[in-house]
Amino acid sequence: MEMQGSASLPTYIRKCMVCIMSRASSQLAFFLCGCYMAALGVHAGEHYVADHHKAGYYVAAVYEHQSILSPNPLALTSRKEALELMNQNLDIYEQQVMTAAQKGVQIIVFPEDGIHGFNFTRTSIYPFLDFMPSPQLVKWNPCLEPQRFNDTEVLQRLSCMALKGEMFLVANLGTKQPCHSSDPGCPNDGRYQFNTDVVFSSNGTLVDRYRKHNLYFEAAVDAPLKVDHIIFDTPFAGKVGIFTCFDILFFNPAIQLLRDSEVKHIVYPAAWMNQLPLLAAIQIQSAFAIAFGINFLAANIHHPSLGMTGSGIYTPLKSFWHHDMESSKGHLIIAQVARNPQGLVGTENATGKMDPSHSKFLKILAGDPYCEKDAQEVHCDAATKWNMNAPPTFYSEMMYDNFTLVPVWGKEGYLRVCANGLCCYLLYQRPTLSKELYALGVFDGLHTVHGTYYVQVCALVKCGGLGFDTCGQEITEATGIFEFHLWGNFSTSYIFPLFLTSGMTLETPDQLGWENGHYFLRKSRLSSGLVTAALYGRLYERD
């Protein structure tokens, strides 16, 4: 990507601009970015490129794309006009593929809706749709066999990019498939319309396609009658799974794919609107990688005015992410990724000397009295017996759900809050107090706004102000530093650790796991103020 005014920079900076954006490890993680961030620019890229295909690693890229949108997506248009618009976006894709190819990238992921845009009707999207033969039935290289099927211009361009860049390419487009009235699922207009991810190999062959199952208010397209469970093979990473955007919150296909223990990598096109404090794009993407111990390659669309930004290459221990509500430009992230990702250290194999807060946590869970020493007296609380000076319980709306909360006051403490059978606990210490209100909240129920799904949530959040009614508001800045254990008696094993710190930055938990029937998250040494630390449990069977 050519930069404004880059000619005046030293050659080595222009040649290789590198950013550091991982806080998860003391080893600094370098990764190449599509744009230069002055505050983070480091002259280190040459070592990276020389070493990019070292054994056991591959080089991945995701592109957060500021798409050129149709000025009126509801208007009817011709195929010719639709292709003119889509080719403008495909020109940008091609530039990114060429940039990535110079860095030795082996797979690149582009976002959902990046080529054609969104907010269409079923009729107005039709000229934007490519015909899609089934890759299971037809072996086809669109770049080398362009005349084989009609209405496949977008597939042809993507195939040629993969071939020219010599990399696997994942992109999202709208596709159509004619159907017969004898098919009971066939829509009245005689065709299926799908939100489709396609995968091309490095020689341009169409490897596979995934049709989105969990649609998010997408009236223009159909959900396939049977869920696609798509896993494709790569020479550099083994088996890779694929799903799209809203799918991340549901069992099928996301969780089902990971039942194959050989799937250690997911590619994920998205057009995700951020919703704080629990579901910013980078939050849920990172949480998915950590929860399942996998690599997660996520490309989100870039439209800050719609709250859409947040992409990254996430591993269980390190994340390379991009979240930018200011810039109107796309952004390329390139990172070296381990073929076999290493997970967090769980309780069963944790080594080293136990710190006092962890032994206190284990004692509480074991039901031993937890004692605090005052000047003269010793106060003991058994895990089941709570002191009479417990802070007040209050209610506030968070993520459109009615949370039950308690304020987190003082420099240290041990709190409990319960709702509907889920109890959440917090054992915390704060080196210094900030003039901010934090609260521990619980929700155990059916979420019904912007989708219907059952969640169990334990969340430590910074409130928007000092009033209880501000807890749950969307905020991005905080100064409060905590060392803490957060845990709950969850009735699901599908729990996502959501972690967000000041300025839309990420942290990795020190430890996660089950202890005595409770799932816990432990963290000390935050590098910036805490915005959210939450355990987000999904009970798929109660949806």
Give the catalytic positions in this structure: 112, 212, 245
Measured N-to-C along each axis, helices 79-102 and 153-165 cross at an angle, to the nearest 10 degrees, of 10
Q: Which of 141, 121, 258 is nearest to 198 (CA)?
A: 141
> Using CA atoms, how far apart are residues 60 and 311, in angstroms rounded to an integer?
13
3-state SS, residue 309: coil
Virtual torsion, Cα 292, 295, 297, 300, nearest 10 deg:
40
Tokens of 270: 């998205």
> Using CA atoms, how far apart are residues 307 and 383, in angstroms rounded to an integer?
42
* CA 73 to chain centroid: 27
Tokens of 280: 């910013």
Q: Which of 169, 162, 316, 339 is nearest to 237 (CA)?
A: 339
Pairing label, strands 511-515, 378-381: unpaired
> Using CA atoms, how far apart are residues 362 and 524, in angstroms rounded to an integer?
16
Q: In what order do the strands lie in the sheet with 412-419?
A: 412-419, 422-429, 483-488, 518-523, 511-515
> Using CA atoms, how far apart are residues 437 and 442, in angstroms rounded to an integer?
17
3-state SS, residue 159: helix
**Residue type at 442 in one-letter notation:** V
Question: Would you give the DSSP letter of residue 254?
Answer: I
Residue 507, judged by CB atoms within 10 A of its CB (0-12, 13-18, 19+), counts as buried
Secondary structure element (H or E) that encloses residue 207, with its range: strand 206-211
Q: Which residues pair with 108 in a beta bridge?
A: 61, 169
